[in-house]
Amino acid sequence: MRLSAYFLPTLKEIPAEAQIASHRLMLRSGMIRQSSAGIYSWLPLGLKVLRKIETIVREEQDRAGAQELLMPTIQPAELWRESGRYDAYGKEMLRIVDRHDREMLYGPTNEELITQIVRDNIRSYRDLPKILYHIQWKFRDEVRPRFGVMRGREFLMKDSYSFDIDYEGARKSYETMFTAYLKTFKRMGLTAIPMQADPGAIGGNLSHEFHILAETGESGVFYDVAYDELAARGDIDLDSLSRLYAVTDEKHDPNAANVPPPDRLKTARGIEVGHIFYFGTKYSKAMNAVVTGPDGAPVTLEMGSYGIGVSRLVGAIIESSHDDRGIIWPEAVAPFAVGIINLKSGDSRCDGVCEDVYRALSDHGLEVLYDDRDERAGVKFADMDLIGVPWQLVVGPKGVAAGIVELKNRYSGEKQELSLESALARLTA
C-alpha cells in the first residue's frame, strides 16, 4: 500500500475524549472513529488489525474442532422469554420494536438462539458432541461505555457453544476450549492467565476468565508465580492450572487454602479478553433441548459457552504493547509487516530503490506500507512509529549513494545499516 493513496487520517494531537493509551493511539493512528458513545467505525488500518485477530481466533477454533456458523444480530424477544432472561437481563439489552409491533432485541449473546437451532435439528446422542461458534457483533447497552473499544457498547465477539450428552463430555469440551484459548492468546503475543471466575449472569458452576496483563487493566489480579514457569515451558493444561491460585481481586481470599506464600504470589492488573462457562442444563432444560439417548430415553443437553472479545483484544494488545511514540504491534497481528520510509520522495535514486524494494517485498507476499508522500523525514518517522509497523526500512539519499539502507525494529528500536540485498534477505527470510 502506498501511503499517499491510503486512507489513514493520523492525528498529531491527543483527542480530548480519550483517557487511556489504547484509545488515544487508536484514534491518533487513524484506526477508528467514534460514531456515538461506545460505538465506533473501523477505518482501514483498524479493520486490518481486527481481521488479523479474528483470523487467529477462527483458526484456533477450527483446529479445536469447533464449527463456524453465523447467527443474526437481531433476535426475537420470544426466545428470551423461554429462557427467562428477557426480563432478567435489564436495561443492558437493547430492545427494538419492528413495524408489526413485534418485540425484538439486538443480541448481547446467543445462548438462546443456538439452543433453539440445536434443539430443532439434533435429535440423537449420535449427533453429539458439537461445538459451534460464530464471530458476530454484539450490543450491550452499557450505562457507561469507556476506554474506546475496550468497553464499547457494540463489540465483536467470538462465542462458542458446546453440546454434550453428559457431564464427562461437557467437561472435555470445556477443556478443549480452555486449551484453544491459551493457544489463541499466545499466538497474538499475549500472556493470558486463566482465572477462576464467577459464572455471573450466564449461570453454572465452572468458569474461567482469561486476563492479559497490562498496567491499565480494569481488574486487579493475584496469581501464583508457578504459572509463569508453566507458561514458559508451554506445559499448560486445565489440570495443572486449576491447582494454581489465580483470581481477580474481588475473589481474592488471603486465607484460602491454596494461596501461595507471599514471595510466590504475584499481583498485577488484567484485562479480561475471554470468559468460558460450563452451565450444564440451564438453557437446555428451560428451552427443552433434548435428544434421545443410547437407551432410548430422552436426555437434556449439557452445555457450555465460550467468549473471546475480538474487538476488545485490539485495545488490549495496544495496552500491553506501546511506548510514548505509538503502538508496537506484535508481528502476528501487525497491519503491515514492513514499512518503507522514502526520506526524499522525488529524488530519482531514492524513488527507484523504494519502488524496487516495495515490489520485491510485496512479491514475497509481505504486506508493505510504502511512505511515498512528499513529507519531511520527521513526519514519516513519527507516523510509522505511531502506527507501529514492526519493521521499518529507511531509504535516504546518503545511504543510497553508499549502497546502504537502514533497517529499524520498532520493538527494540535497534537500527542496522545494511546493503539492500541483505536487508531484503532479512525481511524475506
Partner RNA sequence: CGGGGCGUAGCUCAGCCUGGUAGAGCGCCAGCUUUGGGAGCUGGAUGCCGGAGGUUCGAAUCCUCUCGCCCCGACCA
| Contact set with RNA (CB under 7 A) | 10-17, 19, 28, 34, 36-38, 91-92, 140, 142-147, 149-153, 155, 157, 200-202, 209, 218, 272-275, 307-309, 311-312, 325, 343-344, 376-379, 381-386, 394, 396-400, 406, 408, 415
Q: What's the min distance (Å) between Cβ of 257 and RNA?
A: 25
394 backbone dihedrals φ, ψ, rounded to 5° = -100, 120
Residue closer to RNA by CB (options 291, 424) is 424
Q: Which amino acid makes up residue 136? A: Q
427 backbone dihedrals φ, ψ, rounded to 5° = -75, -25
Residue closer to RNA by CB (options 119, 208) is 208
Residue closer to RNA by CB (options 125, 223) is 223
Q: How far apart are CA 369 and CA 60, in angstroms?
A: 28
What would you measure as the largest C-alpha separation in the chain, in angstroms? Answer: 83
Q: How far apart are CA 23 and CA 39, in angstroms?
A: 13
Cell triple for 226: 508457578
User: Can you say how many angstroms the Cα of residue 6 is from the centroid of all Cα atoms in its chain?
Assistant: 25
Residue closer to RNA by CB (options 125, 174) is 174
Sign, CA torsion 407/409/415/416: negative
Q: How far apart are CA 92 and CA 226, in angstroms?
A: 38
70 contact partners, CB below 8 Å, separation of at least 6: 134, 135, 136
Q: What's the min distance (Å) between Cβ of 121 and RNA?
A: 26
Q: What's the min distance (Å) between Cβ of 260 and RNA?
A: 25
Residue closer to RNA by CB (options 335, 396) is 396
Report the candidate in 273, 311, 287 with the shortest Cα–Cα distance to residue 110. Answer: 287
CB of 357 within 8 A of CB of 340? Answer: yes
Q: What's the min distance (Å) between Cβ of 410 and RNA?
A: 9
Cell triple for 399: 545511504
Residue closer to RNA by CB (options 125, 133) is 133
Q: What's the min distance (Å) between Cβ of 365 and RNA?
A: 26
Q: What's the min distance (Å) between Cβ of 427 and RNA?
A: 16
Q: What's the min distance (Å) between Cβ of 66 and RNA?
A: 16
84 contact partners, CB below 8 Å, separation of at least 6: 286
Residue closer to RNA by CB (options 100, 398) is 398
Residue closer to RNA by CB (options 60, 125) is 60
Cell triple for 215: 498496567
Cell triple for 17: 475524549
Look-up of cell digits 493470558: 192
Cell triple for 133: 461458534
Report the candidate in 72, 281, 82 with the shortest Cα–Cα distance to residue 163. Answer: 281
Residue closer to RNA by CB (options 44, 413) is 413
Residue closer to RNA by CB (options 271, 291) is 271
Q: What's the min distance (Å) between Cβ of 297 and RNA?
A: 34
Q: What's the min distance (Å) between Cβ of 33 and RNA?
A: 9
Q: What's the min distance (Å) between Cβ of 213 and RNA?
A: 15
Cell triple for 421: 540485498
Q: How far apart are CA 272 and CA 247, in angstroms?
A: 12
